[in-house]
Amino acid sequence: MTKKIAIIGAGKMAQAHLDVLVGMDDVEVVGVYSRTLNNAELLAKQYDINVVATSVSHLYEKTEADGVVIAVSENATAVVCQTAFQYPWKLLIEKPLGINLIECKKIINEAFSSKAEAFVALNRRNYGSVSDAYALLNEINDETRIITIKDQEAPILAREAGRDELVISNWHFANSIHLIDLFTVFARGDVSRIRNIIPWKGNGTMLTHSVIEFTSGDIGIYHSLWDAPGPWAVEIETKTLRLAMQPLEALSVQKFPSRHCEVARGHKNDNKFKPGFYIQMSKFLDSIDEKKTSLCTLDEYLSTATLVNSLYRDREYALGD
């Protein structure tokens, strides 16, 4: 049965989702809404979408879509979600879910109150490299994992690009969440302790360095650089295996006692589309068919958002809160 998908938003992220959707079988993009009508009309013409709605309510009433992708600016997400939660479509919402943790909790509470079925689009969870690394680690599930994540953020460039100042002041929540979420993917158990050894001191901080302890015995090491050069990178070490992703789309594998690193080839759909988007959308379509999916749930997202908040506190120790 053909699934009817609607889009809210008309920017680059909306286009990235549409690039995937228009090439999928048994999918019809039935409508688009953007607060800037001209942008929605241009997108509809580019992707041959019949309905250009004038509001979120109008979008559902005209399409009765099975699913909706929300890809709007950070400061518009809360308002859009509040209306979208009132309709019986499944929702895939682009991260971040709100400006900060307070707004995130408000959005999630509204979703639960409305009994909305919503997922958060954390596409890096769905990279081929991440899936391959996860599978390799599950083969040695009895070994402790040391997960090191290196983050680099440049809010100064975001400001030069004209990004909203409120978003920039919460840039760790808007952008660092991409990487910090991978702790929740690879580490087992719950966070038991966080040591912010070089803590966040607000604007002007160049470096943070934290150690995260999990109830499973796994250890997370988070190292971030701000307005300074550095790569995004993930390394996972166990007694017998070392995995490295730098860039994140590529995976290298080293097995003890070998000194040789085998570099995995990129995944087809990660090369063809924005990485992670094809698998992510396939999972969203599965959810519409009531199939089990590993998309990020609201509860899982809240755990990641809470971890982000703890790592960016102006104090040395945050004990699992």
Backbone angles phi, psi at 126, to 5 degrees: -105, 15
Cα 308–Cα 312–Cα 314 angle in degrees, nearest 5: 150
Nearest one of 14, 77, 25 to 49, comparing CA atoms: 14
- Contact yes or no for 40/33 (Cβ under 8 A): yes
Pairing of strands 3-8, 296-297: unpaired
pLDDT value at residue 268: 85
- Helix/strand number for the chain, H first, E second: 13, 16
Domains defined along the chain, listed by start: 3-121 (3.40.50.720), 125-266+296-318 (3.30.360.10)
Q: Which two tokens stand for residue 258?
A: 């070998």
Structure tokens at 43: 């997108």
In this prediction, residue 314 carries a pLDDT of 59
DSSP class of 214: E
Amino acid at 139: E
pLDDT at position 259: 84
d(CA 8, CA 52): 10
Q: Which residue has the tokens 């958060």?
A: 120
Give pTM, 2 decimals.
0.94
Tokens 């699992």 belong to which residue?
A: 320
Cβ atoms of residues 273 and 284 within 8 Å: no
* CB 3 within 8 Å of CB 65: no
- Extract the tokens encoding 259: 């000194």
Cβ 142 vs Cβ 277: under 8 Å: no
Question: Which residues, given as ranges, of the chain have pLDDT below 70?
Answer: 265, 314-321
Q: Token pair for residue 172?
A: 């760790």
Give the tokens for residue 104: 């995130």
Report the pLDDT value the prediction gives residue 319, as an integer from 0 to 100. Answer: 46
